[in-house]
Amino acid sequence: MHINWISISIFLFIACARQVFVDYGKIERLIELREYNEAIGRLAEISPDDTLLARLYILAGRYDEALSCALSPYQSGWIYQKLGMYEDAIHSYMDVDDILYENAMYNCGICASEAGDTAGAIVYFKKAGDFADAKRMLALSYEAEKNYIEALSIWKELRGAEALYHRAEIYNLVEESGESLYQELLKNYPESSYALMALDKVSVPQEVIVNVLYENKKYSEALKYVSRKDHRMRALCFEGMGRYTDAANEYRSTKDRLNTGKCLEKAGFPARALEEYRSSGSDEGYFRAGVLYEQMGRKRDAIDAYSKVGSSFKKTANLRSGLLCLDEGKIDLAKKCFEHTFPVPGNYWLAKITGLSSYRSYVLSESPLSYYAYLLDGKLEISKSTPEEWIASFCDTVYSISHEDSIRLLKGRLLLGYGITKEAKQELSLIKEDNSLFRYRLALLAYNGGLDVLALYWAKKIIDKGCSPFPYKILTIAYPLSFLPTVMEYAEMDPFLFMALIREESYFYPIAVSPSNAIGLTQVIPSTGKGIARELGMKQFDPESLKDPNTSIRFGIHYFNYCLKRFNGVAEYALAAYNGGPTRAGKWKKDCPTDEWVERIPRTETCLYVKKVMGSYYAYKQLYGDALELGK
């Protein structure tokens, strides 16, 4: 019997190739889900020498293991720097000879500084040119070496509070007066920490001292210098200290009825606050009076207060007034209010009142990814066009990027390929070209590189410019599935609800830190994190651990589960509690339909937050269907 060995060999080759392709496809899917550790395990089994492993080890924070892979000089230097092995880092960075040369020299300077070699740091920072804050670091290094002439020449080129402060300090060291520079600093940058330090260097009037201390949130210290006749500044200091009754008394002395009312409300005196709000005669005063009347159950008084609100708060007042008119059975008056509020919510409520399809169609066409589309149970339509074709329907697709943007793009692409996303973000964020097609390509680059925060931001901007229906690819970038398996591991609720929460909290950026020091994917405040760690039986808690996706998701879900249980599983109430606090959300709770309750949340930030998360939840459900299938 003749055996065709050539055919069999081809068959076996194709079969093996297909098997490898399938495995690589699974690995690519895990990378897309940001499940880097599992991807590493699978890739190491198939191809332990694969260069992709190095990138995955870096993305997973497994730096020691990354050193066993084939690395570029920049990757090696970056890893050694992360591990505190500064001499090895410098040695590796010195081999970088491509577009990342200045980045490498800057990092060499940082490593040398950390190692205490300021003379060496000067050499490297000089080679870094204009990269990042290389000049600033060079000036600081010169100062450390007591080379004040060189340091001064650099500080003169720089702007801002720090530069002024260091120039003044150097003048004082070389026996020249830096007083005028301190004065300039105090005048132009009172909110900076350098202004605080400058207060000890120069004699200034009390009002300057007060201003600097107040701008730096040193309220009790500022109060010591405030004249008893300066009622407004005393009020501001008391308010900053949380002494709202004292603040109200001071505001009253200035005849500022609106702020008097705000402080009385915060102090727990709603009746007195109402009197002040109405007496203020301002749009905001009448609006705040209306909200307080609502909380007190005085619906007709609230409607009356809202009717007096002028243009600056009129649309919001009409929305709330329309809901109250519905409660009172005044349908025609409610319709009139909804016709003169914000278009999308107004049309939603008109659709609910009248049942007319025209109102419903308006909401679904103008805001297809919103909370109101979710409430109307709309179906998300997907464009059959490619992203490029869709963008061309509303935007010029011809663009020309500058030389500077080209350099940043090349650097960003290279850094993403290395798995160094934080530095890639710094480069790509500086790109100025705003053409939508170019931004889409940037979003795709960032998405494929694991930098969801930029990809999502750019995709959202493009969606806001275009019209429904949207291309599927752009929607998947705007609503990524990052960390879904981890969410599914801990979630007791619909995983997509928590994915929507992460999207609005951090744009899927694991190391995000807010101005209020909320950290990580789920933006947990360290004090809350400490309590959660205790409840989970953890003996130690480091706030930095919240930057780990697994920890952040576990902590966030634990807290959100608590909120859900406290409010009987109602997602909107739980989200309000997650954002505004369970105690506050409990006070807001009323016996009314959920959509009305959300609209009436007194705190604007929380009201918008609930709507955004629920809108994203709707988009996730419409886009992907069953989370259980996706997480497999």
Which tens digit of pLDDT belongs to each residue from 421-459? 999 999 999 999 999 999 999 999 999 999 999 999 999
Q: Is residue 357 assigned to a domain?
A: no
* Structure confidence at residue 267 (pLDDT): 96
Cβ–Cβ under 8 Å, residues 170 and 178: yes
Looking at 99-113, 166-180, 217-231, 397-411, which range is the least confident one? 166-180
Q: Is residue 610 assigned to a domain?
A: yes
28 flagged as catalytic? no
Q: Which of 568, 17, 613, 149 is nearest to 369 (CA)?
A: 613
* Structure confidence at residue 546 (pLDDT): 96
If one counts every other C-beta atom within 10 angstroms of the C-beta of residue 140, the result is 21
Same domain, 508 and 457: no
Residue 489 has pLDDT above 50, yes or no: yes
Tokens of 277: 């709000």
Q: Is residue 419 assigned to a domain?
A: yes
Which tens digit of pLDDT belongs to each residue from 574-627? 999 999 999 999 989 888 899 999 999 999 999 999 999 999 999 999 999 875
Same domain, 388 and 515: no
Residue 20 has pLDDT above 70, yes or no: no
User: How far is it, in rounded angstroms, from Cα 505 to Cα 524?
Assistant: 10
* Structure confidence at residue 591 (pLDDT): 82
Range of the domain at 405: 383-470
Q: What is the mean pLDDT of residues 312-319?
A: 96
Q: Can you say whether residue 129 is alpha, beta or left, with left for phi > 0 and alpha for psi between -120 and 50 degrees?
A: left
Same domain, 521 and 560: yes
Same domain, 28 and 102: yes
Assign residue 554 the CATH number of its domain.
1.10.530.10
Q: Can you say whether residue 482 is alpha, beta or left, with left for phi > 0 and alpha for psi between -120 and 50 degrees?
A: beta
User: How far is it, in rounded angstroms, from Cα 381 to Cα 138?
Assistant: 55
Q: Is residue 11 assigned to a domain?
A: yes
Mean pLDDT, the chain, rounded, equals: 92
Same domain, 126 and 11: yes
Confidence of residue 350 (pLDDT cuts 50, 70, 90): very high
Q: Is residue 448 assigned to a domain?
A: yes
Which tens digit of pLDDT belongs to each residue from 152-172? 999 999 999 999 999 999 999
Confidence of residue 4 (pLDDT cuts 50, 70, 90): very low
Cβ–Cβ under 8 Å, residues 265 and 273: yes
| Catalytic position from the list 35, 427, 505, 599 | 505
Q: Is residue 223 assigned to a domain?
A: no
Which tens digit of pLDDT belongs to each residue from 55-90? 999 999 999 999 999 999 999 999 999 999 999 999
- Secondary structure E strands in 367-523: 382-383, 470-471
Same domain, 444 and 531: no
Domain end call among 433, 448, 470: 470
**What is the full DSSP assignment across 444-461?**
HHHHHTT-HHHHHHHHHH
Give 327: exposed, middle or buried? Use CB within 10 Å, 0-12, 13-18, 19+: middle
Residue 356 has pLDDT above 80, yes or no: yes
Residue 9 has pLDDT above 70, yes or no: no
Q: φ, ψ for residue 127 (rounded to 5)? A: -75, -20
Domain end call among 149, 179, 214: 149
Q: Is residue 108 assigned to a domain?
A: yes
Same domain, 554 and 439: no
* Structure confidence at residue 5 (pLDDT): 41
What are the Cα distances from residue 181, in Å, to 35, 55, 160, 161?
A: 52, 48, 11, 10
Share of the chain above pLDDT 90, in %: 88
Q: What is the mean pLDDT of residues 407-430?
A: 96
Share of the chain above pLDDT 70, in %: 95
Q: Say how far residue 624 (Cα) sits from the centre of its chain.
A: 24
* Structure confidence at residue 49 (pLDDT): 67
Give 295: exposed, middle or buried? Use CB within 10 Å, 0-12, 13-18, 19+: middle
Q: What is the mean pLDDT of residues 518-528?
A: 96
Same domain, 429 and 557: no
Q: What is the mean pLDDT of residues 548-563?
A: 96
Residue 497 has pLDDT above 80, yes or no: yes
* Structure confidence at residue 13 (pLDDT): 39
Q: Which of 383, 400, 364 is nearest to 462 (CA)?
A: 383
Contacts of residue 183, defined as CB under 8 A and 6 or more positions apart, other chains included, come to 202, 204
Which tens digit of pLDDT belongs to each residue from 505-515? 999 999 999 99
Q: Is residue 626 assigned to a domain?
A: yes
Same domain, 565 and 596: yes
Domain end call among 470, 493, 516: 470
Same domain, 601 and 490: yes
DSSP one-letter code for 311: G
* Structure confidence at residue 275 (pLDDT): 96
* Structure confidence at residue 15 (pLDDT): 37
Coil, strand or helix at 173: helix
Same domain, 541 and 567: yes
Same domain, 423 and 550: no
Q: Helix axis angle, 526-535 relative to 549-566, nearest 10°?
A: 80
Instruction: Compute the radius of gyration of the chain from its Cα atoms.
Output: 29
- Residue that has been written with the tokens 């190095």 in this structure: 54
Confidence of residue 281 (pLDDT cuts 50, 70, 90): very high
If one counts every other C-beta atom within 10 angstroms of the C-beta of residue 27, the result is 22
Domain count within the chain = 3
* Structure confidence at residue 11 (pLDDT): 33
User: How far is it, in rounded angstroms, from Cα 197 to Cα 213?
Assistant: 11
Assign residue 37 the CATH number of its domain.
1.25.40.10
* Structure confidence at residue 528 (pLDDT): 94
Confidence of residue 630 (pLDDT cuts 50, 70, 90): low
If one counts every other C-beta atom within 10 angstroms of the C-beta of residue 66, the result is 24
